[in-house]
Structure 1
Amino acid sequence: MEVAPRKLLVLLLVTTLLAASCGRVVESPSAPARRTPVSPCDERGDTFAGDVKLARCLTEWFWEQRFQQAGETYRPITRFVAYHGEDGPDCGDQKSVPDNAFYCPYGHFVAFDATWLQQMYDRMGDGSVYVVIPHELGHAVQAQLGTRFRYNAERELQADCYAGATLSGLIRAGMIQEESGDESELLTNLEAAGDPTDAWWAPDAHGTPEERQTSFAQGFNEGPSAC
């Protein structure tokens, strides 16, 4: 199927960015004159568990810096819950479901199906972690800012934008190092993340694949203020 030029540029951009993400703290032995940033996190991104913890730590560090710049105080999430299948925590009167990650405003926590996320990690690399975790923490930021939305798709697309801004900010700050990845598999994952239709008014809508990719790229290129 032929892809329109504008859409192709967006897909290639987002694929490249996600393939570049990784959880390793930057080390630059070949450039001794350049000072290596000190990571604010103790975790190392060399395993699935390490990448998940590091993604959480670095994302919250990123938002702490942004809130401080605005003269505000970032409130870290209270819990970071890994569950498996049906045994996830409730969020108010809503049950958790398998193959999902979510932010819960009732308790200000993030939970994720670790089996599902590790399957994506094993299949596509650590880039998946650095999209899912910053996206959910983006919802925590929305809650702290008191942002209101008419439609759920607007909320989800802004969280995608925040995820892109977070990844870009961490790369620019030298907190994560660019690596090559499997671009085709990452692109497939991004396409699958979108809604199959453009019914943006649906209560559970997240946006079409192109909308989600565009929002992520906008955040990456322009920062949180563009979200």
Structure 2
Amino acid sequence: MYKLDITYSWDDAEEGMQFTSFQKAWEKAKELAMKEVETISIEHGAESGLFIDGDRVQEKGTITLHYLYDDTYCYYRVGHVHNKDAVSTSVEYDSFEEMAGHLRYWSNGMGELHCHGKREITQDDLPETLKHVYQELWNSGAGCPEYVVEYDGEYYLAVFCEYVIDTYLDALSRAEKLMYRNKGCCVVSCKTDANDYELYFLIPAETEKSEFDRLEKEAVTALLG
């Protein structure tokens, strides 16, 4: 998720807004800033200054509006809502179809990219955060298949394994113990049509590489037992 915060130099602020992508948040920031410039110019007959500092690679940016008539400022700041603040969660879905309403794939287990299974894509089509996941974190030799995914609007690298019922419950218990020790990670699972189970250990996209390597290794150990 991404947030747009609007603050003023006189220590006032608007209620923050959240978006599912940087692009949506950034476009909204530009729209609101331009509306404010229009109001200053047309309704108040005053001048203003506008400064834009955006970084699409880092997915953050600030638009600064300078009210020249009284030398005050309004700031439109866009940034990521980091998963370090998120609550770890484990969810078991009754079917793959139900899970698919929340878990969306940007790759298959072989690293071939696609947009939610609908069409093939290239790296250039990935959201900026997932480009980092795919280029730096995805690992074909981890020991378990890995997927580049989006879960309820957040981006992750998913470590995957499937089970019969006799082994699923133990694997789920191990995965949840690891999840609760690492804030922001999630465990997602579902029952398949064949009465087997799929289990995904989700590692937040913005996890530092050294931390990710540790989590990946522990996740594979937990899933394989």
- Shorter-chain TM band: under 0.3
Q: Bigger relative contact order, structure 1 or 2, given CA contacts below 8 A and separation 6+?
A: 1
Return the structure number with greater helix share.
Answer: 1
Q: Over alpha carbons, which structure has the higher Rg?
A: 2
Return the structure number with greater strand share.
Answer: 2
User: TM-score, length-normalised on structure 1?
Assistant: 0.25
